[in-house]
Amino acid sequence: MPTARKSTDKYANVLYDSVTESDTNTLTFEAVDVGLNIFDKVGLLVSRIEYHGVWVKLVDDADTLEFGLSSSNGWTDPDPAETSIIDYNKLLLREVGTAAAAVWNLDPYIKDLSNLPGGGLLITPKPLYMYAQGASLVSAASVKMRMFFTVIPLKPEEYFELLEARQYFG
């Protein structure tokens, strides 16, 4: 992986986006527009991702929701082994005891990436997609995201290495 130079950003940028399943329990992608393209030769150093509203549809013991970020929309099964998946999450509802028992979940669902080497996860600005897929849900799921990042300028060879690391070139 390329070694990122110092960011030109003094403070973190915040991006908001969301994805809603096109139909109940259907893998759906939503392109994330950061306002940059692959020709800018920059990386995004993602330090934090907040997912909002992910608990709402989980009401039965068999309900699951998989969601996150990917550099491709060409796969058909959310799986941590899929190399283009940048951030993978799977929530499952498991009831314990009687219906009177409850567990409180915090919203947002926070992914703190700032403790990774370099202060976050270095990704390219495009292609970038949010994805969501429910299982056993009674209606289409929606996931909202706030992503905190800084823009890191890269040399052409560092940028190409980052593209290769995300396996854009097969």
User: How far, in Å, CA of 86 to CA of 124, rounded?
Assistant: 11
Q: What percentage of residues in the chain have a pLDDT greater than 90? A: 62
Average pLDDT over residues 34-49: 92
With beta carbons less than 8 A apart as the criterion, state whether 118 and 4 touch: yes
How confident is the model at residue 43, as a pLDDT? 94
With beta carbons less than 8 A apart as the criterion, state whether 4 and 45 touch: yes
Average pLDDT over residues 25-40: 93
Classify residue 15 by burial, with Cβ atoms within 10 Å: 0-12, 13-18, 19+: middle
Query: Does the pLDDT value for residue 167 go beyond 80?
Result: no
Q: Report the mean per-residue pLDDT for the chain.
A: 87
Classify residue 56 by burial, with Cβ atoms within 10 Å: 0-12, 13-18, 19+: middle
* Residue, of 103 and 139, whose pLDDT is higher: 139
How confident is the model at residue 54, as a pLDDT? 77
* pLDDT tens digits for range 58-109: 778 888 999 999 999 999 999 988 989 999 999 887 777 766 555 656 689 9
CATH fold of 16-165: Jelly Rolls (2.60.120)
Q: What percentage of residues in the chain have a pLDDT greater than 70? A: 87
Confidence category of residue 47, pLDDT binned at 50, 70, 90: very high
With beta carbons less than 8 A apart as the criterion, state whether 44 and 123 touch: yes
User: How far, in Å, CA of 47 to CA of 125, rounded?
Assistant: 14
Confidence category of residue 170, pLDDT binned at 50, 70, 90: very low
* pLDDT tens digits for range 125-135: 999 999 999 99
Q: How many CB atoms lie within 10 A of CB 136?
A: 17
Average pLDDT over residues 128-151: 95
Average pLDDT over residues 152-160: 92
Q: What are the percentages of helix, strand and coil residues in the chain, rounded to 5?
A: 10, 40, 55
pTM, full prediction: 0.88
